[in-house]
Amino acid sequence: MAEALVLPELGFGTANVGNLLGVLPDEQAHAVLDAAWEAGIRYFDTAPHYGLGLAERRLGAFLRSKPRGDYVVSTKAGRLLVPDRDWDGESLDLGDAYHVPASTRRQWDFTPDGVRRSLDESLERMGLDDVDLLYLHDPEGSGDATAAIASGAEGLHALKAEGRIAATGLGSMTTRSLELGAEAWLDVLMVAGRLTLADQPALARVVPLCAVNGTRIVAASVFNSGVLATDDPGEDALYQYGSVPPEVLEKVRRIRAVCRSFGVSLPAAALQYPRRFTPVACVVTGTGDPDQLRQNVAHATVTIPEALWDALAQEGLIP
């Protein structure tokens, strides 16, 4: 495994920097990246998918002003960006919730050549010479996760053998894809929204496989898109990028009540919960708000009594 790559305990994900769910002006995108850096964050994750390359371009412009040895950066492969000849000159990429011109479209490609091309194009967009970690991104979306992971992993292992990346990975919200990634001896799994205070399907097989194989986990979407991000989750809260189901909201409010009895905020508990599992090396959060970023960093460092986790387990709210 990639022992040489050190993953900081807290990282920043750049989906919002790619105009996820709304337009983020250039100056605010820079401000949130700067806030992350000033708060001590040194791991930054991005993807071609995020805003059809916008997040990569913005992140690269920011990181080019920093010493290369001072940060870890990852991007993803599996979706190539190709010109959309049918674009009308006005429409936005709202089908994927990104407020950017839909002048390009995503094309699934997990072949070894496609993975290599994706890395080359990402580096060109970012203006960087290399990335530390390359993930296969949502392979289940290609229609055949097994085949996509097999061919994609071949491409990743070749890039690592050539010294072009320090570590191989896979990122997904689908537990079966994550299991296949662990079985393919990838170095890191980005577990998105499947190892959270509200939802833990990754505990069944993904976490045990990682523990056996020595695969490290980066926990992402730990707020489940928003329902765990505030101490006052309402019916308008987001859950997995959609409306929160009533039963999930009820469970989250019960978790909040237990947290309050210990004087702990719900977002702090949500940020720290995944770190309780040995394979989890890092938690990644994302936001377009510098103040929220600084609050997340504070939440990640507060002391949480062990009795809180015991109480949640006794109430049947976590395993």
Quickly count: other Cβ atoms within 10 Å of residue 314's Cβ. Answer: 11
User: Do 136 and 112 form a contact (C-beta atoms < 8 A)?
Assistant: no
Give the distance, in angstroms, between the CA of residue 128 and the centroid of all CA atoms in the same chain: 20
Tokens standing for 69? 């040895």
Contact status, residue 94 vs residue 27, Cβ threshold 8 Å? no
SS3 of residue 158 by DSSP: helix
Name residues whose C-beta falls within 8 Å of residue 267's C-beta, 6 or more positions apart in sequence: 223, 228, 229, 230, 231, 295, 296, 299
- Cβ contacts of 143 within 8 Å, gap of 6 or more: 108
Q: What is the DSSP letter of 101?
A: B
Please state, in angstroms and rounded to a whole number, the distance separating the CA atoms of residues 272 and 189: 18
| Tokens describing residue 270 | 């949500």
Structure tokens at 89: 């000159």
Alpha-carbon torsion (285, 21, 93, 127), positive or negative: negative
Phi-psi region of 127 (alpha: psi -120 to 50; beta: other; left: phi over 0): left
CB-based burial label for 13 (10 Å; 0-12, 13-18, 19+):
buried
User: What residue has token string 């210990």?
Assistant: 262
Active site residues: 50
φ, ψ of residue 2 in degrees (nearest 5) = -85, 75
Q: What whole-number distance in Å separates Cα of residue 91 and Cα of residue 50?
A: 17
